[in-house]
Amino acid sequence: TVGVCDIRNLSKVLYSFQHHQDSVMQVQWSPKRPEILASASQDKRICVWDMARVGQFQTKECAEDGPAELLFIHAGHTGRVSDLCWDPNNAWTIASVAEDNILHIWEMEEHIYTQAKVEMEP
């Protein structure tokens, strides 16, 4: 679980992102997109979250894939993910490393984040 808090009151969780199956080791906000964050977990996955989608309606079929705010899951690591870092020059590129010392540099396919943007426009 990833909890988002107001820095003025860390004891109150404003929202929880729930999808990881093990401990979350790292969370980083996107340097280019203030509503986007990524979380790395010992479950060998990285989840990319979109705060702008919190509370968005989902069909039953879509809800089976995860909550509305879950934009993407990178599940390519074979070891527990220990760290991640956003590329400061490319809004959707992430570097991640696992305990097996394998580094992945990856980005989501463009249709994933452009589709999310289109769905949110009135």
More confident: 69 or 101:
101
**DSSP H helices in 5-109:** 60-63
State the chain's mean pLDDT as an integer.
Answer: 80
pTM value is 0.77
Q: Tens digits of per-residue pLDDT, 15-24?
A: 666 666 677 7
Q: Domain tally for the chain? A: 1
Residue 75: inside a domain, yes or no?
yes
Residue 55: inside a domain, yes or no?
yes
Residue 115 falls in which region: left (phi positive, over 0), alpha (psi -120 to 50) or beta = alpha
Residue 67: inside a domain, yes or no?
yes
Residue 1: inside a domain, yes or no?
no
CA angle, 71 then 76 then 77, to 5°: 120
Residue 101 falls in which region: left (phi positive, over 0), alpha (psi -120 to 50) or beta = left
Sign of CA dihedral 24, 29, 35, 38: negative
More confident: 70 or 81:
81
Residue 14: inside a domain, yes or no?
no
Strands of 36-41's sheet in order across: 24-29, 36-41, 46-50, 70-74
Residue 27: inside a domain, yes or no?
yes
Q: Tens digits of per-residue pLDDT, 1-59?
A: 666 656 787 787 766 666 666 777 888 989 999 899 999 988 888 999 888 877 777 67
Q: Residue 36: which domain range?
A: 22-120
The two three-digit tokens of residue 83, written as one number: 């760290």
Residue 17: inside a domain, yes or no?
no
Q: Once rounded to an integer, what is the mean pLDDT over residues 81-93?
A: 93
- Cβ contact 48:38 at 8 Å: yes
Sign of CA dihedral 110, 115, 120, 122: positive
Residue 7: inside a domain, yes or no?
no
